[in-house]
Amino acid sequence: MSKLFASLPANTQGRDFVVGDVHGCFTELRQLLETVVFDGSRDRLLSVGDLVDRGPESAAVLEWLAYPWFYAVRGNHEQMALEFDLADTDSCERYLHNGGGWFICRPEEEKQRYREAFSAMPLAMEVACEHGLVGLLHADCPGDNWNALRDKLKGWQDESLLSEEDRKWRYELIWSRERAKGGERQPVVGVVMLCVGHTPRQEVRQVDNVHYLDTGGVYGRKLTLLPLDTLEPVSVPVPDKGYGYKVIES
């Protein structure tokens, strides 16, 4: 199977948790794990992406990605790091505006270590749980069909060789806010629920069978975990990191 799609078996020994966009707020993520008494020998932590940028601890992402109990899909901020080119003024300004200064200023050999880690992150992940098959990706499922998404990603072996059409399809997967903004979509077939981030909300919100887990932590709101057994969100407040207030959709 392509490294761009990951499939996890049911966790028969412990619990699974899904966390919304972390954006460098790893201190608060540790607080969340303490709150739920996370046990790394049995439990697993799953991420919907955007582990980096804006928050003060983005550089710690390599430590987190190395934990054997941590599984993360790639978000648009990891993708921006992969696509960043210092020689491209537009690329540099766009990434700097989106909180990529921590990455831009690093020596090239350090940048390469982060690029290798980010390129190894799958674009989508599925995990079996007591409720059925749960999907995870960053923004939305193109075509609202998980089975088609799985088949598509299985066929991608080298992202540098993607066609223009496939690049647009990948863009929707990690950038789309159509459903979040009220666009006409359908429930995603092939999974009982899809967990995403990308669009900050005041609270975890469900649209169709898509659960939005980004509760605006880096903007001085809160960071949220969704346990896949109880489906009852757990949050901790996050102090204002200096990025100001961003409109949080209700």
In a domain, 250, yes or no: no
**What's the pLDDT score for residue 250?**
44
> In terms of DSSP H, where are the helices of 36-107?
61-65, 76-83, 89-97, 101-104
Is position 77 annotated as part of the catalytic site? yes
Please tell me the total count of domains within the chain: 1
Q: Which of 23, 77, 138, 211 is catalytic?
A: 77
Judged against a pLDDT cut of 60, whether residue 2 lies above it is answered with: no
The answer to whether the CB of 77 falls within 8 A of the CB of 53 is yes
Q: What is the pLDDT of residue 248?
A: 60
Domain that holds residue 118: 5-237
Q: pLDDT averaged over the chain? A: 94
Q: Residue 55's Cα: distance from chain center in Å?
A: 15
249 in any annotated domain: no
Q: Does residue 130 lie in a domain region?
A: yes
**Looking at the domain assignment, is residue 25 inside a domain?**
yes
- The contacts of residue 71 (CB under 8 Å, 6+ apart) are 6, 8, 44, 45, 46, 47, 125
Strands in 234-237's sheet, in edge-to-edge order, are 70-72, 44-47, 16-19, 222-227, 234-237
Question: CATH number of the domain that 145 lies in?
Answer: 3.60.21.10
- Whether the per-residue pLDDT at 105 is higher than 60: the answer is yes
CA 154 to chain centre: 19
Render pLDDT for 194-221 as a digit per residue (tens, 0 to 9). 999 999 999 999 999 999 999 999 999 9
| Domain-located, residue 248 | no
Provide the pLDDT confidence category of residue 238 given band limits of 50, 70 and 90. very high
- pLDDT (average), residues 25-54: 98
In a domain, 84, yes or no: yes
Q: Tell me the C-alpha distance between 88 and 126, whole Å.
A: 35
Task: Answer yes or no: is 52 within a domain.
Answer: yes
Domain assignment of residue 17, yes or no: yes
